Chains A and B, each alone.
Chain A
């Protein structure tokens, strides 16, 4: 932890009227790290992403990228090197896949309004470079065959991958993924996991919000748990999944019977058993016991 973290949130608080959505949340993302941010619904995960990307201006605290305080203007944050995807997909629906990614190249291109009108050699080269790079990225996320399809016509999983390609097109140092596997089947989820590893290989540090804790624990180097706007626990996946407070935060105060099962799973998890990653879904995973309501 000696090096300057690539992304650092310092005691970020966010208050909306009387509601404290985030209170003193700090986070350190090291170069080459994949950090998972988990927490129950309404814990403030997306609010935290909005603070990191300049959509919200934190009530107190700040965000630093490689030691530089980030502005609270989304366009400037993108230029500085933080890119994101969205929980509810926000592609440009009436543009093609390739065009969506090329919009991501916007801040790395130089052609002004007039250069765009008079197609000089520098302009044409810039357009060509942007198109080549965008095609590469589509290839990279596995969408090599759908350049000219309108974004709104793509299958759901492809839309999520297109969002990742578009975010990568901004040449980020840090990529923030907001529930990248929501609504995906197991095969797609696994493909996304491999994709995130591949992104890390290119030198981009990644922060992932997910509900699927199995996914998070098998992906991340470091996990932070956010509950009711506060950082509850952080550490390596092994530390976090064994922490009883995490289990309680996820499941509420369980009835004795369920609690015993949960503890048992947590113990197994701590010992790294084969079922270890399922600790957060013990109730459903028990054969025949669907939460005791049948």
Chain B
């Protein structure tokens, strides 16, 4: 019982992280039908940027653990700002020139951007050829409680991860459905030409989409860092794949789908690792088996809309 609860908690933490990244995938796909494979690297760069904020920007006296209430927000800001700048630059330099090219061109470009970013960080960030330790910039508290024979542990960083991801998704959903720019984003996603004829500037809308996706990925990078206590150039690709899978599972283009897909993958990974034969060696297999099963019966994903032919 304790083990089950523990794995549920672990699954939610992992799921929250995946969901934050998946939101960026799904929004960008929704608006320009681009699977931005470099989005996982934005998350990774966000982690490194928040680490750099800590190591090179914060004054020495703020780096001790007691100063985390100042240090963490600044690190989050640094990570998010760099991630946003990166995402927007990516759109401007790599994707916008290919806006009207066949879909394969931007897709391959995204893969290229992904490799460039990963290698750039690995080569130029001091010590990034191996995982770099991340400061513990949040309360260290581990909450333990007894359940039957076993103990369940949940760290403060785990709670922060779950709270931030759910809060982020709710704010984003409200933004998309209830605000002027949110409506403009949805209109552009459904019919860019008509949106233009209603006075919506498509470029501004697309830049806004990359900005929001970048900010969420940057935030995810910081949360990953303080929770796992290191960052590694490899995590961008790995979590990018998880997040992409979550977005497809939930239905690409759907906010709700990305969040539920993210949590679903987090939970499947931890629960299958615990209970299914083969253990953690097979957890990725179960994730993709589920993905294939869902896509066979519901190609648009759980909450996606069937693809329509555009007029």
Contacts and interface: CB of A to CB of B under 8 A. Distances in A.
B308 interface: yes
A102 B183 contact: yes
Contact of A78 (B171, B175, B199, B311): B199
Interface string A93-136: 11100010011111111011100110000010011001000000
Interface residues of B, number: 28
A55 B179 contact: no
Contacts of A166: 198
B193 interface: yes
B190 interface: yes
A107 B198 contact: yes
A30 interface: no
A92 B194 contact: yes
B144 interface: no
B201 A92 contact: no
Interface in B177-221: 178-184, 186-187, 190-191, 193-202, 208, 211
A74 interface: yes
Interface stretch (A19-27, A58-66, A83-91, A280-288): A83-91
A75 B199 contact: yes
A224 interface: no
B64 interface: no
Given A78-B198, A90-B311, A93-B308, A103 B191 contact: no
Contact of B175 (A75, A83, A117, A170): A117
B140 interface: no
Interface residues of A, number: 37
A102 B184 CA distance: 9
B63 to A, nearest CB: 31
A282 to B, nearest CB: 34
B179 A92 contact: no
Nearest to B195: A103
Given A113-B181, A117-B175, A55 B198 contact: no
B197 A74 contact: yes
Nearest to A76: B199
Contacts, number: 89
A181 interface: no
A15 interface: no
A54 to B, nearest CB: 8
Contacts of B190: 92-95
Nearest to B207: A113
A86 B196 CA distance: 13
A55 B183 contact: no
A123 B175 CA distance: 12
Contacts of A111: 179-181
A88 B194 CA distance: 12
A137 to B, nearest CB: 13
A243 to B, nearest CB: 33
Contacts of B196: 74-75
Nearest to B171: A117
A166 B191 CA distance: 14
Given A90-B191, A94-B305, A170 B199 contact: yes
Contacts of A99: 183, 186
A107 B183 contact: no
A123 B180 CA distance: 9
B197 to A, nearest CB: 5
A291 to B, nearest CB: 32
A126 to B, nearest CB: 7
Contact of B194 (A86, A117, A130): A86
A127 B180 contact: yes
Contacts of B311: 88, 90
Contact of A92 (B180, B181, B187, B211): B187
Contact of A103 (B198, B208, B305): B198
A107 B201 CA distance: 9
A190 B183 CA distance: 33
A242 B305 CA distance: 52
Interface string B167-179: 0000100010011
A172 B65 CA distance: 60
Max chain A Cβ within 10 angstroms of own Cβ: one of B183, B187, B197: B197
Contact of B200 (A75, A84, A108): A75
B183 A79 contact: no
Max chain A Cβ within 10 angstroms of own Cβ: one of B181, B198, B305, B308: B198
B194 A90 contact: yes
B181 A103 contact: no
A107 B187 CA distance: 13
Nearest to B253: A94
A53 interface: yes
Nearest to B201: A75
A170 B208 CA distance: 22
B182 A95 contact: no
Contacts of B187: 92, 95, 103, 106
Top 7 nearest A-B pairs (CB, nearest first) are A107-B199, A116-B179, A78-B199, A74-B196, A92-B190, A90-B194, A103-B187
Given A90-B193, A91-B194, 8 more contacts: A78-B198, A90-B194, A95-B187, A103-B195, A106-B180, A113-B208, A126-B180, A170-B199
15 contacts: A55-B193, A90-B194, A90-B311, A92-B195, A94-B305, A95-B183, A103-B187, A106-B180, A106-B200, A107-B198, A111-B179, A116-B179, A116-B181, A116-B182, A130-B180
Interface of B: 171, 175, 178-184, 186-187, 190-191, 193-202, 208, 211, 305, 308, 311
